[in-house]
Amino acid sequence: MARLFGTDGVRGLANAELTPELATALAASAARVLAAHDRSHRPVAVVGRDPRASGEMLEAAVVAGLASAGADVVRVGVLPTPAVAFLVGDLGADLGVMISASHNPMPDNGIKLFAAGGHKLPDGIEDEIEAGLSAEAVRPTGAEIGRASDLADALDRYAAHLIAATPHSLDGLRIVVDCANGAASFAAPEVYRRAGADVIAICAEPDGININDGCGSTHMEVLSAAVREHGAALGIAHDGDADRCLAVDADGELIDGDQIMAVLALAMAEAGELTDGTLVATVMSNLGLHLAMRAHGVNLRTTAVGDRYVLEELRAGGFALGGEQSGHVVLPAHATTGDGLLTALRLMSRVAATGKTLAELAGVMQRLPQVLVNVRVADKAAVAGSSAVREAVDAIEAELGDAGRVLLRPSGTEQLVRVMVEAQAEDTAKAAADRLAGVVSAVS
């Protein structure tokens, strides 16, 4: 049977795959498992959600499950995922539950779990929780049943935390923020205004149905047009649960996660905050980031794709900055997970502090053309062990030299091999990717 937990919690079509019954059982099992690791007190759980319609139903189910296992529940309402993670630590809670499917379309939903301190759960704990779904459990009764309450100042606590982590006032900086009609809709405009920015908020009127609908970080053209229309200095785009951030400059040109990391890495290096002069990124980060960091004396460590792998490397090495091209950026000194609002504040702070435009700052890195071809294969293992594929990769790498890169990555869930090639010219990258994809297809 397939593992219930994916790379970022449990996700599926709400009320079909992700049912209230599953949500109740999952929450109860999580409370029992995490409470078993510390029996010194009655467990406390923080529960938040994004504004999609099914979140109301699933929130009720999750609260019921937690209370049925004897956990007291603190509801924080519609807030970004990183706000829930922060509040788990801030309140000294034992676990956190975020009900969101991030950038997925509205009919989907998901349940993300956080352990004490606001950290994502390790695989072993997820496995214990999943095993507990089918286990018989003694339910508390009477006064031992959990109680539920609402945290009235949840946003204020989170906002104060973010403002304290912002090194320079944003006074006078006109920005547009696309909230994806999601969890950032109330928090992001408020926080950016408190930081001093002149804020124009778009796609910030969630109705339960319109989350991620033609807006947010997966539809950057909406933000680009708004920035040009309002003459803003820059634009910020969030996804449905606001754990990521992408940007556009004053001309509406995309500033992706790699460029954001480049700007932040140099700012932190200058301030003496970049531990061991090291940035952590995934293997999918653009070669341009590698070249830019090398030119400025910053070490770049790479991990497998997925923010959990970035987090593991950050913790293992005690590093201060890491992230993904998609805009998931982690600053461990201030957050336990990717935080789109924190990332945006640090980026805008750099613009305000230097007096430079975002285009000038991001210009430290040149994005090289990156071509990705998905090749359906019969046997991923056969491709990995093929001498013909290895010879083709070696030949293309020799042709590209230091100005290009080749990456073969098998899909974790399908019989697919992803062929990625970067080069100085897009035509060169496409020709090399197509050539290598042909070899991969032939040997499988």
Active-site amino acid positions: 102
- At 114, the amino acid letter reads F
Q: Which of 84, 116, 104, 9 is nearest to 341 (CA)?
A: 84
Longest dimension (CA), the chain: 73
Instruction: Determine contact, residues 305/284, Cβ cutoff 8 Å.
Output: yes
- Let me know if 15 is exposed, middle or buried by CB neighbors in 10 A (0-12, 13-18, 19+): middle
Contact residues for 287 (Cβ-Cβ < 8 A; gap 6+): 368, 370, 404, 405, 422
- Residue 190 CA from chain centroid, whole number: 21
- Let me know if 118 is exposed, middle or buried by CB neighbors in 10 A (0-12, 13-18, 19+): buried
Instruction: Determine contact, residues 443/383, Cβ cutoff 8 Å.
Output: yes
Query: What is the rounded CA–CA span in Å between residue 247 and residue 253?
Result: 8
For 17-52, b/e burial (b = at least 16 CB within 10 A) is ebbbebbbbbbbbbbbbbbeeeeeeebbbbbbbbbb
Binding-site residues for Mg(2+), please?
102, 239, 241, 243
